[in-house]
Amino acid sequence: ADFETILTETRGAVAIITLNRPKALNALNSVVMTELTAALSAYDKDESVAVVVLTGSEKAFAAGADIKEMQSLDFVDAYLGDFISGWDAVASFRKPLIAAVSGFALGGGCELAMMCDFIIASDTAKFGQPEITLGVIPGMGGSQRLTRAVGKAKAMDMVLTGRMMDAAESERAGLVSRVVEAEKLMDEALAAAVKIAAFPRAATLMAKEAVNRSFEATLSEGLRFERRVFQSLFATADQKEGMAAFVEKRKPAFSNR
């Protein structure tokens, strides 16, 4: 499909979505939201796609929601239009989704990265929730997902002061899973994606679902969910193959069944 604000590409079982509004530092307007969620929805249905990598440019993953687009909204417009809720589709995407972040990931850009399953950052990455400087607060999950990712102290600091964290601080805080040199960002993200794509499809989706369950459930309910999903994987051919291959000291040949 042809999009105006994103580029899409598939390499084997890995799809790459690149935010592409360079003149606005990939500010997230309603067209980006519509196009990105349409691309994800197509990848969800496309059996040839196992994993998606979401990235931006070297200078900016995304510098936030588009301030020029939202500046004149009033409350009733925002409320009746359920402003911003369309982004929920990113968080509910079922396949593994990796954010490869270089440069600015601010406001909605930081929140979009946090909707992904994990973030690989370049050493140039800067994360922040500067909404307070505009007279608003995070609206795409920042107050909730950042707090879960880095804890109350740092989340409050970020949300109340609007300051940015560099890549090293973001990694220390647990917001990003790895930091790599800027030139190696896509190689690292794609290598992770290729690795995941080689594992049994059902297990990768269930692994994601189980980890995400921890944010919604009590510990005992989360553990019960995990155990039942774990048990259910013994109904798959790939569990038999994976364990047989280990015992026979050979590489598994998974069938995604």
200 vs 95: CA distance, rounded Å: 12
Is residue 96 a contact residue for ligand HXC (CB under 6 A)?
A: no
Return the axis-axis angle of helices 201-213 and 237-247, rounded to nearest 10°.
100
Q: Which of 97, 107, 146, 189 binds ligand HXC (CB under 6 A)?
A: 107
Smallest distance, ligand HXC to C-beta of residue 84, A: 5
Q: 28 pairs with which residues across the strands?
A: 65
CB of 128 within 8 A of CB of 158?
yes
Please identify which of the residues 24, 27, 100, 111 carries the catalytic annotation. Answer: 111
Please identify which of the residues 35, 131, 171, 188 carries the catalytic annotation. Answer: 131
250 vs 43: CA distance, rounded Å: 32
Alpha helix ranges (H) inside 46-134: 67-70, 75-80, 88-91, 108-115
- Residue 126 in 3-state DSSP? strand
| Residue 111 is a catalytic residue | yes
Question: Whose Cβ is closer to ligand HXC: residue 90's or residue 193's?
Answer: 90
CB of 155 within 8 A of CB of 141?
no
If one counts every other C-beta atom within 10 angstroms of the C-beta of residue 176, the result is 26
Q: Which of 31, 38, 67, 229 binds ligand HXC (CB under 6 A)?
A: 67
Please identify which of the residues 56, 107, 108, 128 carries the catalytic annotation. Answer: 108
Question: Whose Cβ is closer to ligand HXC: residue 164's or residue 197's?
Answer: 164
Smallest distance, ligand HXC to C-beta of residue 78, A: 9
Radius of gyration of the chain (CA): 19
Question: Whose Cβ is closer to ligand HXC: residue 10's or residue 133's?
Answer: 133
Return the axis-axis angle of helices 201-213 and 219-232, rounded to nearest 10°.
170
| Residue 65 is a catalytic residue | yes
* Cα 35 off chain centre by: 16
Is residue 84 a contact residue for ligand HXC (CB under 6 A)?
A: yes
- Closest to 121 (Cα-Cα) out of 133, 109, 129, 107: 109
Is residue 25 a contact residue for ligand HXC (CB under 6 A)?
A: yes
Is residue 104 a contact residue for ligand HXC (CB under 6 A)?
A: yes
Please identify which of the residues 27, 39, 62, 65 carries the catalytic annotation. Answer: 65
Q: Per CB under 6 A, which of residues 119..148 are in contact with ligand HXC?
A: 130-131, 134, 138-140
CB of 216 within 8 A of CB of 148?
no
Smallest distance, ligand HXC to C-beta of residue 55, A: 17
Q: Which stretch binds ligand HXC (CB under 6 A): 22-30, 37-45, 181-189, 233-241?
A: 22-30
| Residue 162 is a catalytic residue | no
Is residue 43 a contact residue for ligand HXC (CB under 6 A)?
A: no
Residues lying near ligand HXC in the complex (CB under 6 A) are found at: 24-25, 27, 63-68, 84, 104, 106-108, 130-131, 134, 138-140
Which residues carry out catalysis?
A: 65, 108, 111, 131
